Structure 1
Amino acid sequence: MPLPALFADWFAARGWRLRRHQAEMLEAAGRGDHALLVAATGAGKTLAGFLPSLVDLAAHPSDRLHTLYVSPLKALAADVERNLGAPIAEMTLPISVESRSGDTSSDRKARQRSRPPNILLTTPESLSLLLSYPDSFAMFAGLKTVVIDEIHAFATGKRGDLLNLALARLQRIAPDLRRVGLSATIADPDAYRRWLAPGGDADRVALVEGEPGAEPDIAILLPEGSVPWAGHSGRYAVHQVMAEIAKNRTTIIFCNTRGLAELIFQELWKVNDLSLPIAIHHGSLDREARQRAEAAMAEGRLRALVATSSLDLGLDWGDVDCVIQMGAPKGSSRLLQRIGRANHRLDEPSKALIVPGNRFEYLEARAALDAVEAGERDADRFRPGALDVLAQHVMALACAAPFREAELLAEIRTAAPYRWIDAAIFARLLGFVRDGGYALKSYDRFRRLAPDGQGGWRISHPRLAAQHRLNAGIIVEAPMADVRFRNGRRLGKVEEYFASTLTPGDTFAFAGISLEVEAIRDTDLIVRATTRPARIPSYMGARMALTTRLADRVRHFLAEPESWARFPEDVRFWLEMQALRSVLPRAEELLVETFPHEGHHYLLCYPFEGWNAHQSLGMLISKRMERAGLQPLGFVASDYALALWSLRPVTKPEALFDAAILEEEFVEWVEGSHLLKRAFREVAVIGGLIERQHPGKRKSGKQVTFSTDLIFDVLRKYEPDHLLLEAAWADARERLTDVARLGDLLDRAAGTMVHRSLDRISPLAVPVLVLIGRENVAAADIDDALLGELADDLARTAMGEVRGPLARSPAKA
């Protein structure tokens, strides 16, 4: 597929050249090959994905759907729609482009099914809904290409499962369909080629690698004083961040959570003496608020935007001069993705700053910079496709048309994540979709499929199709409450559990505004603007885990004093004092420290396996300590360390870290905690067992929880091998507890544990014990000065008097 003169002239008019990877994508399309493009941000990756479609449609105008574009974010689809408009308009191409997501109006959605555009931009969930309509066969019959942007963002999760099942159905409708994947940050291209290929055959997918771009310009923003002992927000640096905003045309400030984004926005606004235009963007804000911020960025009207992962991916704002990461990045790939929002030109370096929240985060930030410089990306772990997602997909297809069991199984097995499904497993799954399974089949509400009289299955009542479309989806958010002004204007939503802590007169910060609660009506918070101090909403979303490769690099830092010359003086002194007072473990060792402190006995370990694994390990070890009569009082976890405290001392920690804990205490703990019920609640919603919405009404979080807990108890008693209990266990093990890393941690502990029994707190333990002090105060907005005093007191105890060459002021340290 050569580049036509019209396109070559357009490239020349813009001062561009056709890059090698763009030409190779055209060649792959000419051969009819599936393709995976791995190219740096700013390399024209999205244009490379669309170029074959634009060339083909220019040569062969059509009134049918030609190309489907799937992205993980609605904002990204809207941005691509805006950017595709330029070449189409400037070359006067006869090509129509539209977006379809949950934000699209119902009349436009209906029109798109009967008269689709040439290029439709959508998300995995919206695509699944399209496939649930009988007219999907006609709509997709002429489809030529599916372009999957930022494929790394969802391929390894449940959204990727849903998308791959949708690809299998699309390939059945349009057998000559080409699949195209795009990404800037993939560590193992062959794994993604297998995921992308029909039947998981990587050889069917051409790998196209982009031209290398300019190396990014990344720095760590150090405080004017010392690097803090604790905290994760980087709020200490707001004056420095504001100065960076003033120096640049446009800056994006990334935060790892929505709560942190609200906090940083408020802190920046307090020091915004020049009244520079600054906005905030995260997934809980109302759609119109997000779109206003996106439009203002695209038009160059903002000097800064505080954002979360809602803007991580692919948005092409060429005038962004600088990206600032508040807190540690948690992975080199995520850092690169965020850095790519700056500049967006391949031949010029992107400028970025990292603001570490504490000393451990400084080490993580330095590890991330080294990983980026070495070209190291974070590895992704693919796992078998989830059963709850498969159940939802089967119901969607039943809504579109009757099906035969053997034919549908053969189709499903062409989806790479579901190659493992055999006839017996599929029969069990079909039984669940049909009537809920053995323990629930006597209830009419669970009967969703019926024989079609021709050896196949159909939905048992037409209303079930509407119910499915109303409730389908993979993202199960915590129950939400709407935040509204008295006039009805909606600002967005906060989680129900946070709303339940509020009463009229309380204040909280949201959408960059301080709000006072006027009234609470069902699931609505009625608010008004206020100038009173406001608390920051907290969210229950999953925490970003420190990646394995960054954890490895941090462990090596501790073991290699020759690398400390690059560190700030206070960080170097901290590590030097740790070596003097206790020990710094080698990279493969697990350090465990025990010491008395303020009437209690403490056990500290430093696995660097991430908060999820440490949190799970803390619960398991607490159970073992109870059985051993050690009288544990509590524990606290960070991404780097775990601390437990008890009334009696631990003298032999090896017994607590025995790998058998995963077979003994783990099962007992999961079954006895909220963990399995929470996982079941999610798979029950995704699998269609519980409906969140009815026409004109949405169930509250309490109603959903009550319904799922009731069914959970029934199944545990009467059908313990039920398909959804199996799916819930898989979620609890893989996602909620990060059990794979937990197993690796225990394996390492078995042979490499280094135990130091100390007479007082160690320097390395100071950041963790500050966390304990913060939790004991039990205040959402604990005063920074109070936290600093606590850290200084702990540091003085840990460092003590030092004589000789290491002598230095403890306050400076």
Structure 2
Amino acid sequence: MPDVRIFDRLAPFVREFVYEHDWESLRAIQVAAADAILNTDANVLLTSATASGKTEAAFFPILTQLWERPSPTVGCLYVGPLKALINDQFYRLVDLCEQGGVPVWHWHGDVSSSHKAKLMKHPSGILQITPESLEALLLRRHAAIPSLFGDLRFVVIDEVHSLLRGDRGAQTLCLLERLSRLARVSPRRVGLSATIGDAEATARILGAGTGRPTVVPQVREAGQTWRLSMEHFYTSGPQAASQAPILREPAPPAPDVDGPPAPALADPGLAYVFEHTRGRKCLVFANSREECEAVTSTLRSYCEANGEPDRFLIHHGNLSSSLRQSAEELMRADDLSLTTCTTSTLELGIDIGRLERAFQMDAPFTVSAFLQRMGRTGRRGQPPEMWFVMREDQNEPRSLLPERLPWKLLQGIALVQLYLEERWVEPPRERRRFYSLLYHQTMATLAADGEQTPASLAARVLSLSPFAKVSLDDYRVLLRHLVSTDQIERTETGGLIVGLAGERVVNDFRFYGVFVESEEYAVRSESQELGTVVQPPPAGEKLALAGRVWIVEEIDHKKRLVYVTEVKGKVPAYFGECPGDIHTHVLERMREVLREPRDYAYLRDNARSRLGAARLEAREGGVAEHPLVNLGGDTWALFPWLGTYAFLALERVLKLRMPTSLGIKGVDACRPYYLQFRIAAGKDELVGALQEAFSATIDPACLLFPGELPVFDKYDEHLPPKLVRKGFAEGVLDVNGARERVLGW
């Protein structure tokens, strides 16, 4: 049997580890991974369900090879997206590696300097690091890279899906290529993920610049049972089930621990969460930090009103690391029934013990997020369990049709059905030019390597795989601009070095990261650091943070400190969150949800009734059948059923490329669901004009408004305006996606 042969091939201490944990056999992904890693020289992409043993699948054969032939330097580099995930994996690996004499190191901002110094003195074993800390290592310890990584054989990229959507993933690939060149090594890459949409595309990205093929082991996984529930609530007034007949027998409520209900005047949706988390260890996922704060403070107020102990924790990116770590430690305790309200910060595989149930407030933006969040539950032999809680204000009597549709409910159903029916997950985006990252890697290369001729700098930077679509002409435009703005400087010999303005950027610790950071103020109450806010209110006003309400006592703008005292009350939080991007396939499935007559077993009473009412309204209004729907008089709504990027392109064509004779006014977008506007002409004239516009060649650059400078990415402010506009036009506006839809009408 191949699994027996594979098992016998593993190092003795690995086999002993398996015996000690009473595993009857290796899991399918572990057998497939060991076969690929031990018997090929290729990169490997491991994708299987959450909690399927992917980490062990990668490290069992890697440790075997490091044990058989120890490396005189770091032999394996583990890149993780979060410090907390690295800490968690560090402690998971230490016991296993100690038995084989393979050291494990970790390196990020919270790791002691003495631990780092030991690694520098005795480089060996496995090093776990974040992309930002790897950037700092390449930049600040440039000369030590060959001695640290001169025999690097493997790079493991955990949660690889989270690093493939945006600048941070592209930065990671740049870092690995720069490290390989500097250390003169060619390590194999091993990517791990539970939510890969297009394995072929992901494998192509993972292996870029290595010159190696990427193997994707095909594993037949056993079927998995889900416990899935989706309920809808109006925030006040009668609920949907009381406004319409029940279409079928409702599912019985889950048996929960008895206890007092939520206070009488509680928000019905949050009361539902409050009552069904009692006596259980749960996560409540919100789509923004603002919503996370609001949900936490409200649930805590229900505990106080009922005279119950507070059983709600909070975890998001603006909290201090001490508060986040405290929540993680409390959740790991098996004897405590606590619930943590969180954003995506607990979406990845940090160990917080056995979770019984996950709640999702409204719909997430992606199938990937849904799977990751549900996958946090159901470990240790239990099925994953997710309860969606869709909340909506009651419609005003004079609301127009588009406003009356339950978009989040439709989106949630679509996300679930796409995976159930097609096993579909969002594919990685491959067509961006990464101009902001291009600036960053140019400055990092000059800071690390010193003076370069323009030609040698272009050769070093443009040969990095994320910049394959950047032309030499574009790079000349960038370098001329950076010289003119003192970001880089010409030497007397014609070389290029970091300029005075560039030194201020490169020498800031925030330079290591490429994700956008707002100017944040640290918030303190006495000696405790609570977290950060972007725009603190003036002294005397209130702010929400860490699931509580505080009054601002003093603001030190120079040190960016806010001093607060806890008070009672309720106030919305603001952190500068932006909505996520939704794929066209999700919108298309939402339209089918409105069209099809079928029921979905996971819908509960209110959700089923709300969907039934929405289908009736959609059918009467022709929403799912016709792109243009008259809302009365000269007011129309356009339902394109397009994802965010194609929707943006269509919106801009409507605003910028339509004949004035159509008399289009008051275009209002609810992205990416519908556009609402007034028009003097008729429906046929507008459709004809749109089809005529898309039948011609549309340069995406002409879809920018005069003088518009769409600065989104971290270093866009340092780019020449020409490249900022070009990057947005060609990387964000999906003209082809919009064209295909419009010409199909």
Q: CA deviation at 1:183?
A: 1.0
Q: 1:228 to 1:105 in 2, by over 3 A?
A: farther
Letter aligned with residue 418 of structure 2: A
Q: 1:215 to 1:318 in 2, by over 3 A?
A: farther
Q: CA deviation at 1:281?
A: 0.7
Q: CA deviation at 1:628?
A: 5.2
Q: Does 1:293 align with 2:327?
A: yes
Q: CA deviation at 1:145?
A: 1.1
**Secondary structure in structure 1 of the residue aligned to 2:442:** helix
Alpha-carbon displacement from aligned partner over 1:434-456 (angstroms, at most 9, x marks no partner) = x714xx1xx6x4334647x7x97
What's the TM-score, normalizing by structure 2? 0.81
Letter aligned with residue 375 of structure 2: G
Cross-structure match for 2:388: 354
**Secondary structure in structure 2 of the residue aligned to 1:316:** coil
Cα distance in 2 for residues equivalent to 1:732 and 1:529 = 43
Cα distance in 1 for residues equivalent to 2:109 and 2:661 = 53
Letter aligned with residue 737 of structure 2: D
Alpha-carbon displacement from aligned partner over 1:40-60 (angstroms, at most 9, x marks no partner) = 111111122222332234444
The aligned runs of 1:153-164 (5 Å cut-off) are 153-164=162-173
Cross-structure match for 1:323: 358
Of the structure 1 ranges 603-612 and 285-294, higher mean CA displacement relative to structure 2 is found in 603-612
Give the one of 70, 73, 80 matched to 2:89. 80
Give the one of 416, 419, 427 matched to 1:369. 416
Q: Does 1:727 align with 2:723?
A: yes
Alpha-carbon displacement from aligned partner over 1:639-667 (angstroms, at most 9, x marks no partner) = 42233368x78765436746748989985
Cα distance in 2 for residues equivalent to 1:415 and 1:483 = 40
Give the one of 21, 45, 52 matched to 2:29. 21
Task: Structure 1: give runs of 5+ residues left out of the alignment.
Answer: 690-722, 753-813
Cα distance in 2 for residues equivalent to 1:623 and 1:424 = 28
Alpha-carbon displacement from aligned partner over 1:653-706 (angstroms, at most 9, x marks no partner) = 436746748989985773446x51534x73345xxx4xxxxxxxxxxxxxxxxx
Cα distance in 2 for residues equivalent to 1:190 and 1:511 = 41
Q: CA deviation at 1:542?
A: 2.8
Cross-structure match for 1:394: 442
Cross-structure match for 1:641: 674
Cross-structure match for 1:258: 289
Cα distance in 2 for residues equivalent to 1:239 and 1:470 = 41
Q: CA deviation at 1:388?
A: 2.8
The aligned runs of 1:467-546 (5 Å cut-off) are 467=507, 471-485=511-525, 487-496=526-535, 499=536, 502-522=537-557, 523-531=560-568, 533-546=569-582
Contact kept in structure 1, 2:581 and 2:644, CA below 8 Å: yes
Task: Structure 2: give runs of 5+ residues left out of the alignment.
Answer: 1-5, 244-265, 393-405
Cross-structure match for 1:436: 482
**Secondary structure in structure 1 of the residue aligned to 2:572:** coil
Cross-structure match for 1:670: 704
Q: 1:19 to 1:578 in 2, by over 3 A?
A: closer
Cross-structure match for 1:447: 488
Q: CA deviation at 1:507?
A: 1.6
Alpha-carbon displacement from aligned partner over 1:445-477 (angstroms, at most 9, x marks no partner) = 4334647x7x97665799679626553421122
Cα distance in 2 for residues equivalent to 1:479 and 1:616 = 31
Cα distance in 2 for residues equivalent to 1:340 and 1:328 = 16
Cα distance in 1 for residues equivalent to 2:630 and 2:532 = 43
Q: Does 1:593 align with 2:630?
A: yes
Contact kept in structure 2, 1:156 and 1:383, CA below 8 Å: no
Contact kept in structure 1, 2:520 and 2:534, CA below 8 Å: yes
Q: CA deviation at 1:150?
A: 1.1
Alpha-carbon displacement from aligned partner over 1:7-65 (angstroms, at most 9, x marks no partner) = 21221221222223223323333333211111111111112222233223444455632
Q: 1:508 to 1:627 in 2, by over 3 A?
A: farther
Q: CA deviation at 1:602?
A: 3.0
Cα distance in 2 for residues equivalent to 1:749 and 1:294 = 49
Q: CA deviation at 1:747?
A: 4.3
Contact kept in structure 2, 1:113 and 1:136, CA below 8 Å: no
Q: 1:491 to 1:400 in 2, by over 3 A?
A: same
Cα distance in 1 for residues equivalent to 2:462 and 2:185 = 15
Alpha-carbon displacement from aligned partner over 1:369-422 (angstroms, at most 9, x marks no partner) = 222222222222212441331332233233333457666656656643233356
Cα distance in 1 for residues equivalent to 2:241 and 2:173 = 45
Q: Does 1:380 align with 2:428?
A: yes
Contact kept in structure 1, 2:411 and 2:586, CA below 8 Å: yes
Cα distance in 1 for residues equivalent to 2:495 and 2:75 = 31
Q: 1:397 to 1:243 in 2, by over 3 A?
A: same
Q: CA deviation at 1:558?
A: 2.4
Cα distance in 2 for residues equivalent to 1:725 and 1:106 = 41
Contact kept in structure 2, 1:318 and 1:343, CA below 8 Å: no
Q: 1:364 to 1:385 in 2, by over 3 A?
A: same
Cα distance in 2 for residues equivalent to 1:414 and 1:28 = 29
Contact kept in structure 2, 1:167 and 1:415, CA below 8 Å: no
Letter aligned with residue 561 of structure 1: P
Q: CA deviation at 1:320?
A: 0.8
Cα distance in 1 for residues equivalent to 2:496 and 2:691 = 50
Cross-structure match for 1:129: 136
**Secondary structure in structure 2 of the residue aligned to 1:268:** helix
Of the structure 1 ranges 98-107 and 541-550, higher mean CA displacement relative to structure 2 is found in 98-107
Cα distance in 2 for residues equivalent to 1:276 and 1:495 = 28
Letter aligned with residue 118 of structure 1: G
Cross-structure match for 2:19: 12
Q: CA deviation at 1:257?
A: 0.7
Q: 1:142 to 1:406 in 2, by over 3 A?
A: farther
**Secondary structure in structure 2 of the residue aligned to 1:561:** coil
Cross-structure match for 1:304: 339
Cross-structure match for 1:238: 270
Q: Does 1:749 align with 2:716?
A: no
Q: 1:576 to 1:629 in 2, by over 3 A?
A: closer
Letter aligned with residue 676 of structure 2: A
Q: 1:491 to 1:174 in 2, by over 3 A?
A: same
Letter aligned with residue 709 of structure 2: L
Percent of aligned pairs with the same amino acid: 24
Q: CA deviation at 1:208?
A: 1.9
Contact kept in structure 1, 2:104 and 2:127, CA below 8 Å: yes
Letter aligned with residue 494 of structure 1: V
What's the TM-score, normalizing by structure 1? 0.75
